[in-house]
Structures are given as structure tokens and as C-alpha cells.
Chains A and B, each alone.
Chain A
Amino acid sequence: MRARGRAVAAVAGLLVLVLVAIIFLTSRPREGVSRLEAAFRDGLTPLFMTASRVTQSVAGLWDGAVALFNAHDENRRLREEVDALRREVARLEELARQNEALRAALDLPPEAPRPVIFAEVIARPLNNWWGVLTINKGRRHGVEPHMGVVAAHGAVGHIRSASAFSSEVILLSDPRSAVGAIVQRTGEPVLVEGLGYPGTRLRLRPLTAEADIVEGDVIVTSGMSSIFPKGVPVGVVEEVAVGPFGLSVDVTVRPYVDFGTLEVVAVLGAPGDGRAASAAPGAADGDGP
């Protein structure tokens, strides 16, 4: 009886050691995931997609029913917004034309277009401490780690790991995320970090002591890394709190993207990468394992 107890204790101790080793090994920064993890994730992808689409449909029915009550006001507001956006597009087209002409005059090379891979969000964080998403596109579709991910309103995050048919996206709100950005008004360099809990706010760290940042400033990506091109909207400064004696500044940014309601995202391929061909959302929905 005592021998059996010892054997059970020995096995339990060994299992604890193995578990600690696994947690330790997976806590280190890694390039990609192991074959076992990738196979498990790819195997679950169809289940994720099914569960996600059923929930989406049910939520869509509910949202549709609610929207019917406000359809008239919503229609008028959207028409006004479309008019405003048409004027904005015309203005931006003119600016783009001027920009191209100036680049040509200065003999600067034209900016290489980035291929875009549209993907569907199929799974959400496994707990509330991390900001991650799983998307239904992987290496087979040209997705690679460290590619930037954007949505219609702005930057979303970057690819942490990619398996054959799915990838994991680290959101800007994740505590492991830090993105180089600039204040659009002044061009000052800043770092945007995730706070690590749901609240959809980001922390902004100025990189210069005399940074001029005020509430309402728009933050865009700096384009200094290969993850994002320059000028992708990140968010707007919501609060600037100066510490005691003016020695520190605590800046909070409200991101343009609501990470909790994302359905479709676009993965930005490397400039000139032919593998990451553009595809409409859901175009490769049948490509799963």
C-alpha cells in the first residue's frame, strides 16, 4: 500500500516537472509553433469556423432586429456620411497626385504596394489577460509571422505564429505588443503599447523628453519597421496626465479599431511579396484542412 503511494507520488512529481518544463519552454519568444501545436490548431480550425459562423448568424439576426427600429435615422446619417467621405476621397486623391508629382521631382522611388490577404476572425482570446485572435488564413495563403494586420478603421496587430491554415494575431492591446508610431500633428516619434487587459485603451510612450502631445492628437504608424507601412491610423489621444514635477507623462490612446467586434481583417504582406496575393474575404473559405 505504501509502495503504491510512493509510486503515485513519484508519477505526480514527474508530471508536475514536465508541466513546468512545458510552460517554461512556451513562455520564451519563439519563431512559430511546434508541429503538434500547428496540427492541433489546424485540426480545430473547421470547428472554430463553424462555432464562429453560427454565433455570427445568431448575433446578426439580433442586431438586424434591433437595427430595424433605427433604420430611418441610420439611413439619413449614413447618406450624410457618404457625402462627406466622397468629398474626403476627392481631396485625398488630389493630395496623392501631388505627392506622386513631388516624389518624382525629388527623384524618390515610388512606394511599393503591399499585397493584402483578407481573413476571417474565427477564434478569440482563451482568457481575458491577453489580446489575441485566430484567423482562418495561414502559411498556405502566404501569411507569415511579423506581418501587420489592419482593419477598416486602422491597425489591429501583427501575426505571432502561422500554421498551414490558420494564424494567431497579437492585438495592439496585448501586453506583448509595442508599435512604433508618430503623432500626426507634430511628427514626433512615440511607442504604443498594450495595457494587457480588456478596456480597449493603449498606453503611449513619448520617445523624446519634450514631446508635444495633447488630447485629440491622432496617432499613426511610423513605418519604421517592416510590420506596418507609414500612416496607418492607430488611435486618438484620450488623456494626457503629467506626473509629479512634470517628470513623467502618462498618455492613454483610444484605438480606432474595436478589437472585440472584429469579423474580417487584412494581413499586410511584405512589399513585393508575390505569394501574398490579394483575395476577397471568404474567397478561400473552402481552403481549410
Chain B
Amino acid sequence: MGGGLVVLVLIALQMGAFGRLRLLGVYPEVLVVVACCVGLHRGPVAGAVFGFILGFLMDVPGGHLVGLSGLGYAAAGLFAGLLGLRAFPERWSVTASAVALGTVASQAVYAAGASAFGFSLPFWEAGPRIIGALLVYHLLLTPLVYPLTRQLADWLMPRGLEA
């Protein structure tokens, strides 16, 4: 119950609040940062599962390509978690690298998935600009999101989900 409410609040924050805070022409996808941080704290499986749930539910209100963001966010949580297994996640450089890797993975998976379903997004024309701006934005948000996600993960995630 508490977990569901947190997820809904996160989605509302992403779409209602962060959707107004443009930087360098893009909106932050703060839930990608959350998925990456969960992956770092609790392992790749937990990161992928939490990322998938967040992304899937984010897609539902829009009703377009429902589930594709789930795949993108799951990839972000998975890759960040895999990096966290191989390096000490408390180091800033590791956290930043994991968020950067997750950001690139989520955008690439989304664009590739959309293309597979008949929507050729201009990935090569716009991708570098979108991803570049998102990287800057997400790295600025990481110092805020990382400690909050640790508390959230401790509260929500049963230890059995850890990889």
C-alpha cells in the first residue's frame, strides 16, 4: 500500500512538477535517476523491476506505446545495478557513471523500441542533444535523489529482491 502510494507520488512529481522544469531544452526524467539509484543500492534485479514498474505506470496515462518506458527504465536500473556490483557504489564517480549509463540505456532502448513498432524517432539527429542535456540534468539531480532513494529502497524493497 505504502509502496503503491510512493510510486504514484513519484509519477505525479515527474509529470506534474519536473515536467515544468526545462533545462537546456529538455525535461528531466527523474524516475530514470531513481531506477539507477535503486539498482546501485539494491542490485540489478531490484533496479530493473522497480524501473519497469515506474516506467510502465508512467506510460499508462498517455496510452501510447504503453510499457516501452518500462523497458527503458528497466534497462537503466539493470545497467546501473550491474555497474554497482563491480564497483563501490558510494563513490561519486561510480554513482555518476551509473546514472549516465542508465540515462543513455533508457533513451536508446526507448528509441529502438519505438522504431521497432513503427515510429522512427530522429535518434541520430536529436539523440545526442537530448541525451547530452539529460546527462547534465540527471547528474545535477543525482546528489539529491541518491540519498532519498536509499531510504526509499530500505523502506520498500524486501531484501529478497537483491541480486
- The CA of A19 and the CA of B18, in the complex, are separated in Å by 27
- Let me know if A55 and B20 touch, CB within 8 A: yes
Binds A, one of B109-117, B140-148, B149-157: B109-117
27 A–B contacts from the bound complex (CB under 8 Å): A19-B67, A22-B66, A27-B64, A27-B65, A33-B63, A37-B60, A40-B57, A40-B60, A40-B61, A44-B8, A44-B11, A44-B15, A47-B8, A51-B15, A52-B16, A52-B17, A59-B20, A125-B19, A126-B14, A126-B59, A126-B62, A127-B27, A127-B110, A128-B27, A197-B130, A198-B26, A199-B25
Question: Considering the chains assembled together, what is the distance between the CA atoms of A123 and B62 in angstroms?
Answer: 10
Q: Is B80 an interface residue (CB 8 A)?
A: no
Chain B residue contacts of A196, Cβ below 8 A: 121-122, 126
Contact with B along A186-204 (1 / 0, CB 8 A): 0000000001111110000
C-alpha gap A48/B21 in the complex (Å): 14
Please encode chain B, from 63 to 103, with 1 for each CB lying within 8 Å of some chain A CB and 0 for all others: 11111111100000000000000000000000000000000
Q: By CB atoms of chain A within 10 A, which of B19, B58, B126, B129 has the most?
A: B19
Ranked nearest first, the 7 interchain pairs of A and B with the lowest CB-CB distance are: A124-B19, A51-B16, A197-B126, A47-B12, A123-B15, A41-B61, A33-B63
Smallest Cβ distance from A238 to chain B, in angstroms?
16
Q: Are A54 and B8 in contact (CB under 8 A)?
A: no
Query: Which of A75-83, A101-109, A129-137 is the contact stretch?
Result: A129-137
B113 touches A23 (CB 8 A): yes
What's the least CB distance linking A113 to chain B, in Å? 32
Query: In the complex, which residues of chain A have a beta carbon less than 8 angstroms from the beta carbon of B15?
Result: 44, 48, 51, 123-124, 126, 134
CB distance from A158 to the nearest CB of B (A): 14
Contact-size category for A: 35 or more
Number of interface residues of B (CB under 8 A): 47
B126 engages A47 (CB within 8 Å): no
Cβ B16 vs Cβ A47 within 8 A: yes
The distance from the CB of B4 to the nearest CB of chain A, in whole angstroms, is 12
A residues in contact (CB < 8 Å) with B: 19, 22-24, 26-27, 30, 33-34, 36-37, 40-41, 44, 47-52, 54-56, 59, 122-130, 132, 134, 161, 168, 175, 195-200, 260
The interface centre, meaning the residue of A34, A36, A129, A260 with most chain B CB atoms within 10 A of its CB, is A129
The answer to whether A51 and B17 touch across the interface, beta carbons within 8 angstroms, is yes
